[in-house]
A and B are shown apart, each in its own frame.
Chain A
């Protein structure tokens, strides 16, 4: 019997689940997400003193968006400062299609994704002639132009007033409370994760990685740089659009202020904290970030009785913590939580021996 993991052929090596053990645990986890977690939420709320279900939904939405930016930034090597705006495109498209054109949710959600993909691809077109930092600035321009359009096109988007978004509904089933919405988000988050994981076992996925690692060499061996960069922009903003639409239907009132450059930066921070170029990284990053935000909020609430000044300083403390965490991660763990996870796993695999 082999005393470790040995691959005897390529198909073995390319399997997503290397062992039955991993696959089993994943199924246990998914079953827990669907049939365990929602039923212990009320107990968790009491212990942790914050709305756990709300946190889980936000995490799910962020996971979808984080996979999106990870495809572009982590796997294709293209820094994007425009994902907040791409989310806005998705959010507003779905909202406008449902309220003004009478689309059902099941149609408006993919439409939101597709339109965002189209917008993302338009802003990816400069990549025909641009490299590196210059393209990063093109995405920054995208952020500002989209934000401006939403703020000023008052007739369509409500401008500074924002607009109300109806509940998501499939057939006659309306997702009108957190518990129902939780299932919708989880299904989509798991589907997105599976899609992203599989994307990098296909030809375009491998091309993305080649473009990231050595774009010039990739071009020489026949990878069409422009085509794959645009494709990466498209897929990435498609996911951002879906995440944006879900967010809109969850919070039910959207204003352009929710989709500023800060959101774009938040997304970059999430994939850096989680781990660039790793599917697990997007998930870890989202959990860490959303969890941290909730924790800070709870802490400030709990401590405000004894330190009333804390409420006044809450915004600034949040900003400073956000910056510090990113800097500390970049200096001490540049590969993110996903790398830490791998080392921990490797450690336990061999425990108690060091080799």
Chain B
């Protein structure tokens, strides 16, 4: 079966999918709008975490399976700053981001640099080992149970706010705004700043950029920092919405479908993939839940398998040209 077959199949699937959504929309517009809005919020968090993921893959070709643990650690740090040190949420947030920068640096320097040039499986395994260590430390310091964020943070705890007639808690609006803000920030960073341009150059060709005087080691370190920072932001938002617990680390694995949909090495793809998967997850939860309970937990992975069949390199991924 040739490429054209998959191409046609892809378009047919997409068209029928849009058709189904349009039908559902006319069936019950309010429900559809509500699902879409919440899906968009969830999707923007996915996009944020997926951005960090794609960035690491693009510049260092490492599949970071410890992304979810970065998220969890960030949420726990922020929470204990607020609860134990009585620091205001805003400051706790920024201190957490600072901490994430150091976490990213430490991980890159201590664990991943010794493994440069080793086979892929070693590098993947090292990120798995890292996730295990981080998880162990979190259990050691904070125990096993889910802890909620304090609900008296002034601007997050207000009354639900109507968006297109759908009442939404302020945290959802804030998280959407925050995610968009960080995505834009990084877009500008990659487009205009010197470091951002160096990172894009390294991603496109390591050897050439090294010979042009770019420090590839520094780029690797910055990639890990950025990934840790965006994960922490995602972690704090998710932690506020659903409580801080070990289960937060699963979010890192659920980001895979988003990254794959966009293509592993495309940052724009990660964002689009993240939003799409967030929407799909919510639609499946809203419309299929009475047929298969809790289907939304697994739906992104089903989508993932379908995407892998039809577009193996995602929507925007670079197709590898293979030579012997």
Contacts of A131 in B (CB 8 A): 312, 320, 322
Measured CA separation A133–B298 after assembly (Å): 21
CB pair B305–A145 under 8 Å, yes or no, is yes
Give the shortest distance, in Å, between B290 (CB) and chain A (any CB): 13
Query: Does chain A have a CB within 8 A of B313?
Result: yes
Query: Does chain B have a CB within 8 A of A231?
Result: no
CB pair B111–A327 under 8 Å, yes or no, is yes
CB pair A324–B260 under 8 Å, yes or no, is no
Residue from A276, A317, A320, A326 within 8 A of B128 (CB atoms)? A326
Give the shortest distance, in Å, between B61 (CB) and chain A (any CB): 9
Q: Would you list which residues of chain B between 50 and 104 have a CB under 8 Å from chain A?
A: 63
Which range holds the interface residue count of chain B? 35 or more
A interface: dominant SS? helix
Query: Does chain B have a CB within 8 A of A179?
Result: no
B interface: dominant SS? helix
CB pair B302–A318 under 8 Å, yes or no, is no
Contacts of B324 in A (CB 8 A): 214, 216-217, 220
Contacts of A278 in B (CB 8 A): none
CB pair B308–A138 under 8 Å, yes or no, is yes
CB pair B308–A319 under 8 Å, yes or no, is no
Which range holds the interface residue count of chain A? 35 or more
Q: Would you list which residues of chain B between 218 and 262 have a CB under 8 Å from chain A?
A: 253, 256-257, 260
CB pair A79–B253 under 8 Å, yes or no, is no
Query: Does chain B have a CB within 8 A of A167?
Result: no
CB pair B133–A79 under 8 Å, yes or no, is no
Measured CA separation A325–B126 after assembly (Å): 10
Q: Would you list which residues of chain B between 138 and 152 have a CB under 8 Å from chain A?
A: 138-140, 144
Query: Does chain A have a CB within 8 A of B270?
Result: no
Query: Does chain B have a CB within 8 A of A129?
Result: yes
Give the shortest distance, in Å, between A196 (CB) and chain B (any CB): 19
Residue from A133, A141, A144, A331 within 8 A of B120 (CB atoms)? A133
CB pair A319–B293 under 8 Å, yes or no, is no
Residue from B129, B138, B302, B313 within 8 A of A326 (CB atoms)? B129
Measured CA separation A146–B124 after assembly (Å): 22
Measured CA separation A253–B134 after assembly (Å): 31
Contacts of A141 in B (CB 8 A): 256-257, 301-302, 304-305, 308
Please judge, given known A-B contacts A79-B121, A319-B139, whether A134 and B126 are in contact too, CB under 8 Å: no
Please judge, given known A-B contacts A126-B305, A216-B323, A330-B115, whether A265 and B128 are in contact too, CB under 8 Å: yes
Give the shortest distance, in Å, between A312 (CB) and chain B (any CB): 8
Q: A272-B122, A327-B111 are in contact. List 5 more A-B contacts (CB 8 A).
A: A133-B63, A134-B264, A140-B256, A152-B294, A276-B121
Residues of A with Cβ closer than 8 Å to B?
73, 79, 123, 126, 129-134, 136-138, 140-141, 144-145, 148, 152, 214, 216-217, 220, 261, 265, 268-269, 272, 276, 313, 315-327, 330-331, 334
Residues of B with Cβ closer than 8 Å to A?
6, 63, 111, 114-115, 118, 120-122, 124-126, 128-133, 135-140, 144, 253, 256-257, 260, 264, 292-294, 297-298, 301-302, 304-305, 308-309, 312-313, 320, 322-324
